[in-house]
Chains A and B, each alone.
Chain A
Amino acid sequence: MTDAAYHRPTTLDAALALKRDEPSARFIAGGTDLLVQLRKRKVAPAPLISLRNIPELCGVSVEDEAIRIGATTSLAELLRHEVIRRELRALGHALWTLASQQIRNVGTLGGNLCNASPAADTAPPLLAFDAAVELAGPKSRRTLPLASFLAGPGKTQLAAGELLSCVVVPRPPRGTQSAFLRQGRVAMDLSLASVAAFICIEDDRKAPVVRLAAGAVGPVPMRLRNAEATLVGRPLDAAALVAAAEAAAAEVSPINDLRSSANYRRRLVRVLCERALRQALGDKEIHHEG
């Protein structure tokens, strides 16, 4: 380790001011990705600005319309949160299989998104829930849909000096069910592919709303818009689920790498998509209790 500084501001404004004064400094939350990258010299040594001691960035608040998750809320705290487990079930599934207790206890939701891994397991469920992110910069605050925040492997729309402060998830209406499925080689490994499904059937007269998202099968975790489109205006029967799964497999753009071939990932998407839809449809317990 170098002699570089480690700052521990206690307010968001102080954190942003430190970054303004020292543009080469990096924000650090849980550190479970950044400290590995620093150690492997994938990231140059830099002063670090810790976001762990800033109360306004941490914690879950359940409002009428949305669940607001502070960026530095730990993955373990989210997994323990009653409302998240009940209403954002797909996110709960993703958290449960994400890394280990040692990592979940310090890793944060904001960190999982800002690290911008194509395989970030919290992203597909959040995309399926149509989440947005709030960004705080030295001069202004702005809100972006998560889908446009993620820009490429390791890339986000964060401008210089900006940080992700909050993830805003619209509360799913009554009649919503969701599921997340992933396939990894072994438990701790990154996902080879993952799929999240959101299905809202508010009442029998209204068309169901279905949103699907996949991870690790493209440069960014992505909505499966073609697969969603195949389900519009038709009953969600077995043939419809197969058609959606096939559309999903056709629209993803996986790569070959050391973990898996592109072809295998594409096949996984088809299987996981159908299973996730089936699981969400069969899962009647989740509903809005607002």
Chain B
Amino acid sequence: MRAELRFTLNGAAVEAFVQPQARLLDVLRDTLGATGTKEGCSEGECGACTVLIDGRAVASCLFPALEAEGKRVVTVEGLRQDNGDPSAVQRAFIDKGGVQCGFCTPGMVMATTALLAENPAPTDDEIRAGLVGNLCRCTGYVQIIDAVKQAAGELATKERS
């Protein structure tokens, strides 16, 4: 038994036939081939599977795919700018060394994108609170927080110009 599902993935209309209780994470990776989103803990603790749904960060491992019906889903594949360059958040993670093994990075970048959309100038504490649902076992988080601050600064500059 399969159910029909239609939503917008990174700006493009997509359609899939899915098991009724399939997770959005599996539909993204296995059905639609968008493997940028990673599976970590599968229980909403680690944040590796974070995607944006209608602009808000969500753990796609805990999101029934059918609830994405008609919604706008953005994954790490959808962050790059129109000219193909990385987004300010992606650039900042590269510049500041906020990436080591890279497995948490798509989720970190998505959570940061959502955090800065809601709070464009977060304090260190607000950055930590915003990323509390994203685990990184490599960096010790210092470079990640530096990256969020750089991205916030860049986005603020862009806003002013």
Chain A residues packing against B (C-beta within 8 Å):
1-6, 8, 28, 31-32, 35-36, 39-40, 48, 50, 52, 76, 96, 99-103, 105-106, 187-188
Contact = CB atoms under 8 A, between A and B. Distances in A.
The main secondary structure of chain B at its interface with chain A is mixed
Nearest to A1: B21
A79 B113 CA distance: 19
A6 B66 contact: yes
A40 B1 CA distance: 23
Q: Contact size class for B?
A: 20 to 34
Contacts of B45: 188
B135 to A, nearest CB: 8
B133 to A, nearest CB: 2
For the complex of A and B, the 5 pairs showing the least CB-CB separation, nearest first, are A100-B133, A6-B20, A102-B59, A105-B56, A187-B132
Given A102-B44, A188-B45, A6 B3 contact: yes
Contact of B43 (A4, A39, A76): A39
A53 B115 CA distance: 26
Given A50-B64, A188-B45, A4 B21 contact: yes
Given A35-B23, A102-B44, A188-B45, 8 more contacts: A28-B64, A76-B56, A101-B114, A101-B133, A102-B50, A102-B111, A106-B62, A187-B129
A96 B58 CA distance: 16
B144 interface: no
Interface of B: 1, 3, 19-23, 26, 42-45, 47, 50, 53, 56-59, 62-64, 66-67, 69, 111, 114-115, 128-130, 132-134
Nearest to A99: B133
A39 B3 CA distance: 20
B62 A36 contact: yes
Nearest to B55: A105
Nearest to B118: A101
Given A32-B44, A102-B44, A102-B58, A2 B132 contact: no
A4 B21 CA distance: 7
Contacts of A8: 66-67, 69
Nearest to B46: A188
A58 to B, nearest CB: 13
A28 B130 CA distance: 26
A52 to B, nearest CB: 6
Nearest to B51: A102
Contacts of A102: 44, 47, 50, 57-59, 111, 133
15 contacts: A1-B19, A1-B21, A1-B22, A6-B64, A8-B67, A8-B69, A28-B64, A31-B64, A32-B44, A52-B67, A101-B114, A101-B133, A103-B133, A106-B58, A187-B129
Contacts of A1: 19, 21-23, 26
A152 B21 CA distance: 29
Contacts of B26: 1
